[in-house]
């Protein structure tokens, strides 16, 4: 075993050298990327959705009229019909506001055709108990914009072309055709193919052309798209001798155990950090739930919801994770103190952010107000925020950010009355 661990350490060191070389090559190609200087690389709303919509907007100042849109529709094999006079791209360069919460909408209300694009980089689907997220968008375009289902196309854009959650397309089961209508596309395939075509059309538009090139570089980084030479170097490294092969297999075979301990330690240390902050732990996830998430396969793990419930000064909080919604938090009903529940609900009614985030179980629930790169999805170790939990130091940093977020958001909800309510309880 000692020899195996020594060889594994050597393998990781040599893989790190390949990784550093890929970073050096990327830095040599482009020292300054204005997109990631101004915005976070994984910001699906403010960076990716807006940038894509501005590229396909014929009224944008790129001076290519509808050429980018035509190329985009060609890559998607779309049957969307439009007239330039009646075409709408939302969001657009004239207004960055989304329409009915849809990330990107291409619509012609006169010809009655629409393209819905749901953009998912790290976030999970935002489903409601009675209606999935994509169902909601689809229904609104049918009912409120009076466009026939046959003339609506739906695309689900992700890093890796994964499918939307089953609940997103079939919670209400109103549209039996919808699951088959949703087409999965990815940044590394369809979007990069479109951008590569578009950069050739922008040969006489140097500023626009360079923006496209920088976006392509960003997508390569975002999708870990290393070049063929680096891929061959990794293969040669792993296969150069039997020790390296054994080490690589050992790491792959044991990575599920690494994931189990990482997730378990996260919740264990989260509970300890809550105690330090004077919270009382009422419930925390069992080893069985963590095991089901890591080892149980999708059918088992989708039904698991690891939960940590804690109380302070009469207020009961809960952090919960679900397969589709990731990690979120909120306040639970307190049956033994109905008057306090009533008081809190009055504050929730005044909150624009929380008005739709309440049900029979939650006084309110909310997402964590932390950067996308720090968000955690315990089912997805490809997400950097989750993978970083392997490091004890980064795990502790993540826990602090999550707990600071709860306390700051709670104070924001109650304003100057926060301590008054705590004292009243």
**Full DSSP string of 128-154:** BTTB-HHHHHHHHHHHTT---GGGEEE
Please give the C-alpha separations between residue 233 and each of 93, 99, 127, 227, 392, in angstroms, as whole numbers. 43, 46, 43, 10, 31
Q: Global pTM?
A: 0.61
Contact 151, 177 (CB under 8 A): no
CA distance linking residue 185 with residue 17, whole number of Å: 32
Nearest-10 Cα torsion for 391, 368, 225, 35? -120
pLDDT-based confidence at residue 28 (cuts at 50, 70, 90): low
Burial class (CB in 10 A: 0-12, 13-18, 19+), 193: middle
Q: Is the pLDDT of residue 272 over 90?
A: yes
* 32 or 393, which is more confident: 393
Which of 67-76, 255-264, 350-359 is predicted with the least confidence, judged by mean pLDDT?
350-359
Nearest-10 Cα torsion for 15, 20, 22, 27? 170
Give the rounded distance of the alpha carbon of 97 from its chain centre: 20
Please name which of 100, 103, 99 lies closest in space to residue 53, comparing C-alpha atoms: 103
* Listed ranges 106-110, 219-223, 348-352, 368-372; the one with the highest mean pLDDT: 106-110
* Listed ranges 47-61, 322-336, 390-404; the one with the highest mean pLDDT: 390-404
Q: 364: which strand partners?
A: 331
CA distance linking residue 11 with residue 265, whole number of Å: 26
pLDDT recorded at residue 226:
57
pLDDT in tens, 187-221: 989 999 999 999 999 888 888 888 888 888 888 87
The residues, ordered by sequence, that sit 6+ positions from 154 with a Cβ below 8 Å of its Cβ are 115, 116, 118, 134, 137, 138, 178, 181, 182, 183
Which of 41-45, 79-83, 219-223, 283-287 is predicted with the least confidence, judged by mean pLDDT?
41-45
Which of 37-46, 189-198, 310-319, 342-351 is predicted with the least confidence, judged by mean pLDDT?
37-46
Please name which of 21, 7, 384, 3 lies closest in space to residue 234, comparing C-alpha atoms: 21
pLDDT recorded at residue 37:
47
Please name which of 95, 168, 173, 97 lies closest in space to residue 137, comparing C-alpha atoms: 168
pLDDT recorded at residue 425:
46
Contact 106, 115 (CB under 8 A): yes
Contact 372, 121 (CB under 8 A): yes
pLDDT recorded at residue 337:
64
């Amino acid at each position: 075993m000692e020899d195996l661990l020594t060889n594994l350490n050597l393998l990781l060191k040599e893989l790190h050298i390949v990784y550093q070389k890929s970073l050096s090559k990327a830095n040599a190609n482009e020292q300054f990327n204005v997109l990631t200087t101004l915005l976070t690389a994984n910001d699906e709303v403010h960076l990716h959705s807006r940038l894509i919509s501005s590229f396909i907007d014929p009224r944008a100042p790129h001076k290519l009229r509808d050429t980018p849109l035509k190329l985009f529709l060609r890559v998607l094999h779309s049957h969307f019909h439009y007239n330039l006079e009646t075409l709408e791209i939302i969001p657009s360069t004239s207004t960055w506001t989304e329409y009915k919460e849809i990330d990107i909408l291409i619509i012609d209300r006169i010809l009655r055709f629409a393209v819905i694009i749901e953009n998912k980089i790290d976030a999970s689907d935002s489903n409601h108990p009675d209606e999935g997220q994509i169902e909601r968008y689809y229904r609104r375009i049918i009912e409120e914009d009076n466009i026939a289902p046959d003339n609506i196309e739906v695309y689900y854009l992700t890093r890796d072309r994964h499918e939307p959650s089953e609940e997103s397309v079939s919670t209400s089961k109103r549209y039996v055709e919808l699951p088959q209508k949703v087409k999965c596309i990815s940044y590394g395939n369809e979007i990069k193919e479109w951008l590569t075509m578009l950069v050739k059309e922008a040969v006489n538009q140097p500023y626009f052309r360079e923006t496209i090139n920088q976006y392509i570089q960003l997508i390569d980084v975002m999708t870990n798209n290393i070049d063929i030479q680096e891929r061959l170097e990794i293969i040669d490294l792993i296969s150069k001798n039997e020790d390296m092969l054994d080490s690589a297999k050992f790491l792959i075979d044991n990575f599920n155990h690494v994931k189990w301990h990482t997730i378990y330690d996260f919740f264990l240390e989260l509970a300890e950090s809550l105690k330090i902050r004077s919270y009382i732990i009422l419930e925390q996830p069992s080893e069985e739930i963590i095991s089901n998430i890591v080892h149980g396969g999708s059918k088992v793990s989708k039904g698991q919801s690891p939960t940590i419930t804690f109380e302070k000064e009469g207020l009961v909080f809960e952090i919960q994770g679900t397969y589709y919604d990731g990690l979120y938090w909120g306040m639970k009903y307190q049956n033994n103190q109905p008057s306090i529940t009533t008081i809190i609900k009055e504050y929730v009614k005044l909150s624009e952010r929380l008005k739709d985030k309440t049900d029979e179980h939650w006084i309110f629930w909310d997402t964590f107000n932390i950067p996308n790169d720090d968000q955690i999805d315990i089912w997805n170790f490809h997400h950097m925020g989750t993978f970083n939990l392997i490091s004890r130091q980064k795990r502790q940093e993540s826990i602090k950010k999550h707990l600071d977020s709860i306390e700051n958001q709670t104070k924001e909800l109650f304003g100057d009355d926060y301590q008054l309510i705590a004292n009243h309880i």
